[in-house]
Structures are given as C-alpha cells and as structure tokens.
Amino acid sequence: MIDDKTTYREFLEILKNEIGDFLSMAEKGRSIRYSARLARKKSIRLREILKEFRTVSIKNDKKITNILSEAKKEVNETNV
C-alpha cells in the first residue's frame, strides 16, 4: 500500500486517482452491475487510504515545522 517513503504530494496523487476511479465506476454502476461491484470494492480501498491520511499528514506537518525551526535558527544566528 502506502510506504513510509511516500511524500505528501505523492499520497495526494494516489488519493485523487482512487477517488476518480471510484466516481467513474459508481457512475457506470447505475446501469452496469459489474461496475457497481467494482465501485464497492474501490470504496474499501478508499477507506484504507483515508485512514492513512492522518499519519501522512502529521508526518508532513512535522517536516514543515522542522524546516521553519531551522529557518528561524538561521535568521537568529545571522542577526547576532
């Protein structure tokens, strides 16, 4: 699925693709039973991906916080 090396941007691309596939299948599922079944299976995959969103988002937030902290340190060091 999603590994630890997946960036926030990559994760969002995966999520966008999965949502697009789900919507496409769900629309087709209004008249094609097989597509409806595929949409239901895709909804399970979406649930799993959305559960991972929090972890990926927190990891990205920590990365941003670290970058800002380093930048503040550099500014403070140059002002001294």
72 within a domain of the structure (yes/no) = yes
Do you know the residue count of the chain? 80
* Number of domains into which the chain is organized: 1
Does pLDDT of 76 surpass 90? no
pLDDT tens-digit profile of 25-37? Answer: 999 999 999 999 9
Cα distance between residue 41 and residue 34, in whole Å: 11
Contact 1, 48 (CB under 8 A): yes
Give the number of other Cβ atoms within 10 Å of residue 32's Cβ. 12
- Which residue range is the domain that position 65 belongs to? 8-79
Query: Is this model's pTM higher than 0.85 or not?
Result: no
CA-CA distance, 50 to 64, in Å (whole number)?
A: 21
The string of pLDDT tens digits covering residues 5-63 is: 889 999 999 999 999 999 999 999 999 999 999 999 999 999 999 999 999 999 999 99
Q: Residue 53: inside a domain, yes or no?
A: yes
| Three-class DSSP category at 5 | coil
> Looking at the domain assignment, is residue 2 inside a domain?
no
